[in-house]
Structure 1
Amino acid sequence: MASVLRAVRRRGRKAGPEGSSSGPEAKRTLAGRPTTLVGMLLAAAGCSSDTTTPPVDSGDLVLVIATVGADPDPDGYTATLDGNVSLPVAASGSVTFSQVLAGEHELSLSGLAPQCMSARESLSVVVEAGQVTTLEESVFCETEPPVLVGAGDIATCDLDSDDATAVLLDSIPGTVFTAGDNVYPNGTEAEFADCYEPTWGRHRLRTRPAAGNHDYNTAGATGYYDYFGPSAGEADKGYYSFDLGTWHIEVLNSNLEDVDGAAQLAWLEDDLAMNPAACTAAYWHHPRFSSGFHGNDESVDPLWDALYAAGVEIAVTGHDHHYERFAPQDGDGDPDPAAGIREFVVGTGGIDLFPAPFVKANSEVRRSTVHGVLKLSLAAGFYRWEFIAAPGGEIVDSGVSACH
């Protein structure tokens, strides 16, 4: 997936004399100080105060904005340097902070319309003397994109954490997913009726589930398939796909082995080829990568490789009882910001939580003390993630990314 933020330095160009932007006229600044103060400082240092000649210890900082999606804010945004110098910038345009003192600075974007969100709240950047540093920032705009929300490792009659996460679902519209181990300990018909139905079961009609190993503790996972019916796919397979807005969603069964596993892989490759959506997500139970006690599961390598080859954006899994977000990576665990899959481990639906002590490469965020649900807002060309904790609904991890 294309990087939404990067710094590119171009050498050999002298810094210009004043701030400029594609929006309204901008005032002259230098690292947050009025030009008159700059002149005083330069004079005290034995330098010329002529603002037409950039001081040798400064450079230009250029912010380039690209707005993705529908309904961008026609009034544009406000770019702020170091919390005290603000310049307007168009929704698709650029702004230049001139004669910025060399060193590290913070740049942020504000004034976005409710339907818009920037890739980062702030960015640290190093400006070098006599150079131009260019930052590219994406802003994503869409009104009420489709939502996919859920978790794995969910219900038990012995705890009430699944009731707390179900309360979160009550206030979040959209399609509910499960990432396996829907009810403990054995996925029986009685457990689905007595333990799952009173909590997450009230969202059954909008749920698209995936099966976990505890669901298969009942032979053939009959309790699971009987409870969810056609929403769970064919009872001897458990894998299927559906469309959600402009996104294509693959639901896989990581419990299948040998002949059944090979049949699923062939189906997946065909389904990906027949549905070349610009953005695709997938979910199943066993994580390819995890910092938890179960750890990396290489048995799902063939599925991951097929998804990676097709340019899939997101993989959501469970099994390990914590929340974790990985940077985009390939099947070997090598970082790949341009084409890698971002995996979320979300075994936080209600069962007991466990630590994640074996930190894997590319792991960016881990939470092992709060239950919660992952909310994915799937807009055309980009997605936003929010991990929402229970009880209370605090957002403890969030972000936005463009599709590949």
Structure 2
Amino acid sequence: MARCSEEVRVADWLASGVVPLTGRADGPPLVPPGHAATTARELAGRIAEATGGRVRVDGPALLGERAAFTGHTRNGRSSPGGAARLLPTADGWAAASCARPDDPLLYGALIEREIDGDPWSAIAGWLAEHTGEELAERAELLGLPAAPIRPTPPAALLTELSTALPTWPPRDVRGLRVVDFSALWAGPLCAQLLGLAGAEIVKVETADRPDGARRGHPGFYRLLHGGHRAVAVDPSTADGRSALAALVRSADIVIEASRPRALRGFGIDAEAEVARGATWISITAAGRTSNRVGFGDDVAAAAGLVATDDDGGPLFVGDAIADPLTGLTAAACALTSPSTGVLWDVPMAGVIAATLDGTPSRPAPAGAAPPRHRPLGPPAPDHGADPLIALGIGHPC
């Protein structure tokens, strides 16, 4: 995406709803560094163009949309939602999330002692005595959403998108089937935008582990999933894996947001599906060749999207901002795909890094828009609401 002027950069941030979410709780709001809000506006424009104007969204406003439901606001070195922290290491700073039920146990393995109660004091103590490189190595091994804040290579696909539309005609997704294995925010936003463009969205969850976002704000979940179909499968059984494979083969577009080995373990081969002509959207923390895991807050901060004020040290920018920016990017990819199969590798860290251009954060002028959300659509489906047989899949597991 093209670098923008300072005036445009600041105007897009002020319109995004992210500025009130950036800074210390007891301090003024800050304009973040970089041009993520401008990139979001440009991506929304590409989506509108690719859909002949059928899908028009306010790209910058999507970056702060969840906070419009939750009411969360800026909180300095704690993320607005409270699940992530920015903490000093022996040689710098790190971003870490502790949001999943198993995370305290995994952090206990990191620090090599059991964590009882609030984990953050113990995590902070370990980080203060270890380098960012030690954290990166051990977090990847343990599957922890934690990483040092350090320069990240930009994702080339944003530049690729800038040149794809002239060479690939926009793809009409009306009537196409999108099988969505993703959860939380980035992948579901991509699926929602494709659904608005006319695709059939089939959300896939395992029988015993629904999308964790179902436990979040019901209005936000409804916004992302309203009108979609939902199936639950049990890939631990032979019948479940067979049904899963048949469902994937029925898809024109597949969205996944896990490390590649997860679906491979269920017998699903992304490359084989691409070879038959499917579009595969692979959303990961740091790319398909990385074993790193991460969520929107820690990934964005670790990639360098942090604000600073006169007191120094990093502060969180927005609410899990890597998620909506990646969701917009993934949707633009799906809508500019060639008719032959293609695998889009969409690393959240690289998407964020591509928006950083050396411009610093700065105090916000008056006029920053608050977080806001789009009108709610149809209700979201219950977990496993649709039997597979209703989707034309032979085995109704």
Q: Give the TM-score, by structure 1 length.
A: 0.27
The structure with the greater share of residues assigned to helix is 2
Between 1 and 2, higher relative CO (CA 8 Å, sep ≥ 6) is seen in 2
The structure with the greater share of residues assigned to strand is 1
